[in-house]
Amino acid sequence: MTASSPMGVSRPQVKSLDEILPREPLLMMGAGPVPIPERVARANSVVINHLGDVMAEVIGQVKSMARYVFQTESKWVIGVAGPASAAMEMAVANLMQSGESILCINNGFFSHRMAEMALRVGADVHELHVGVHEAADPERVRKAIEEARPKVLTMVQGETSNTVFNHSLEEITKIAKSYGCLVVVDAVCTLSTMPLKMDEWKVDVVITGGQKGLSSIPGVSLLAFSDEAWAAAKNRSKPPAQWCFDIQLAENFWHKDGYHYTAPVSGIMALHEALKLVCDETLENRFARHLRCSKALQSGIQGMGLDLFIPNESRLNSVIGINIPESLTAKQICQHISEMYRVEIAGSFGQPIVRIGQMGEQCREHNLFRTLHAFGSTMRDLGIKVDQPNGMAEMESYLQKTPRPLYQVA
């Protein structure tokens, strides 16, 4: 209890941030947020007028770089001050109206979130449940579309929670488009870590956040609409209930140099730098870097004698799920590796796994070695027999036999 004061609520006694934060920053190898490059961190300290010529130029560049990263010529790139979930909600809230049918492919925790959002809009929500270890099957999706006749189909490219990769995304999109559905893809985890060709694959909306594949900060997110999806969102009979997420209002800021709400200036600066780093590196080199690092880490983990959660054909490379030995919990492992080795990894939402991220800055060789060493040592410290020298050797030999792509050092 704090003593009452004549001024009303009394002043709290709090620690300084320096006292709270660890002396040595933890290496963020979980499922996001991921480490940010120095240039991104510096940009994140900039505040300028949120309206005016300088901001307009920055926004223009953010949009054109985003078009490259999304692989779309569509004009309709917009951002939102909020987590990736805010971008998901923006897609759902603008495309759906009460009573309209939507089909959500549910691969787990995150892809189910779209269905929750659609329910709140009052949509007629259908969910196609996919087994925990599997990718969505195009023929099952076709059947579900024939039954639900949805206006919109939603799916995730990489389900971060159970580390499943929906490898048939392009084929599923093609099927959905043949029934006249708009296709919304959550690429929060995967964007810029693996191919996603919005225009070529005819995806209508792509959603991403800052803190995963893009290696920016959390709290500013991007999405792109196809012309068809933009028109569908504009031609609705009533505006969406959420004023902040209304794309017609967001258009004022993102396309007309006008005011909607005060933009998250610093976060947009950070995102600008993160996108610039993707452009400098090129998508091809970035995909190759992610693939090489993730596969090397996977061979290292398996080389120690541990098992990966998802079979090779539907395994996500952007986040790796590792089975937990029966005698341990995810919490024990995550706590130990953090306290002893200053490396952060993640537990999971409901699965018996720990997860190590391979997104953006996490995919650097020095980070792989530190992480695999810390992980193997943690297992040994906690009484699990692992062949750590073999794991380290397997990782090194994978790296040696796979050419290192050219990359811009951040």
Q: Which residue from 36, 55, 80, 84 is in contact with ligand PLP, where contact means CB under 6 A?
A: 84
Q: CB–CB of 242/266 below 8 Å?
A: no
Residue 210 or 391 with smaller CB distance to ligand PLP: 210
**Whole-number Å distance between alpha carbons of 45 and 217:** 11
**Whole-number Å distance between alpha carbons of 388 and 371:** 12
Q: Which residue from 59, 189, 304, 374 is in contact with ligand PLP, where contact means CB under 6 A?
A: 189
Smallest distance, ligand PLP to C-beta of residue 198, A? 16
Residue 186 or 394 with smaller CB distance to ligand PLP: 186
All residues at 6 or more sequence positions from 137 whose CB lies less than 8 Å from its CB, including other chains: 130, 168
Residue 106 or 160 with smaller CB distance to ligand PLP: 160
Other Cβ atoms closer than 10 A to 376: 24
Size of interface with ligand PLP, in residues (CB under 6 A):
13
Q: Which residue from 32, 108, 267, 357 is in contact with ligand PLP, where contact means CB under 6 A?
A: 32
Note whether 115 binds ligand PLP by CB under 6 A: no
Q: Which of 191, 173, 175 is nearest to 183 (CA)?
A: 173
Smallest distance, ligand PLP to C-beta of residue 281, A? 21
Note whether 196 binds ligand PLP by CB under 6 A: no
Note whether 156 binds ligand PLP by CB under 6 A: yes
Note whether 155 binds ligand PLP by CB under 6 A: no
Residue 135 or 386 with smaller CB distance to ligand PLP: 135
Note whether 85 binds ligand PLP by CB under 6 A: yes
**Whole-number Å distance between alpha carbons of 114 and 103:** 10
Residue 205 or 395 with smaller CB distance to ligand PLP: 205
Other Cβ atoms closer than 10 A to 373: 17
Q: Which of 216, 198, 278, 244 is nearest to 33 (CA)?
A: 216
Structure tokens at 314: 């539907």
All residues at 6 or more sequence positions from 178 whose CB lies less than 8 Å from its CB, including other chains: none
Cα 150 to its chain centre, rounded Å, is 25
Residue 361 or 394 with smaller CB distance to ligand PLP: 361
Tell me the pairing of strands 220-225 and 76-81.
antiparallel
Residue 156 or 182 with smaller CB distance to ligand PLP: 156
> For 409, what's the count of Cα atoms within 13 Å in the CB-facing half-sphere?
2
Residue 222 or 395 with smaller CB distance to ligand PLP: 222
Query: In the range 209-238, which residues lie near ligand PLP by CB under 6 A?
Result: 209, 212, 218
Residue 84 or 322 with smaller CB distance to ligand PLP: 84
Note whether 358 binds ligand PLP by CB under 6 A: no
Tell me which stretch binds ligand PLP (CB under 6 A): 48-56, 63-71, 78-86, 270-278: 78-86
Q: How far is CA 226 from CA 184, 212, 272, in A?
A: 10, 23, 22
Note whether 40 binds ligand PLP by CB under 6 A: no
Note whether 71 binds ligand PLP by CB under 6 A: no
* Secondary structure in 3-state letters for 126-141: EEEECCCCCCCCHHHH
Note whether 186 binds ligand PLP by CB under 6 A: yes
Structure tokens at 160: 């971060």
For residue 290, give the H/E element and its range: helix 283-303
Residue 65 or 319 with smaller CB distance to ligand PLP: 319
Smallest distance, ligand PLP to C-beta of residue 383, A? 32
Q: CB–CB of 130/263 below 8 Å?
A: no
**Whole-number Å distance between alpha carbons of 287 and 131:** 27
Residues forming the site for ligand PLP (CB under 6 A) = 32, 83-85, 110, 156, 160, 186, 188-189, 209, 212, 218
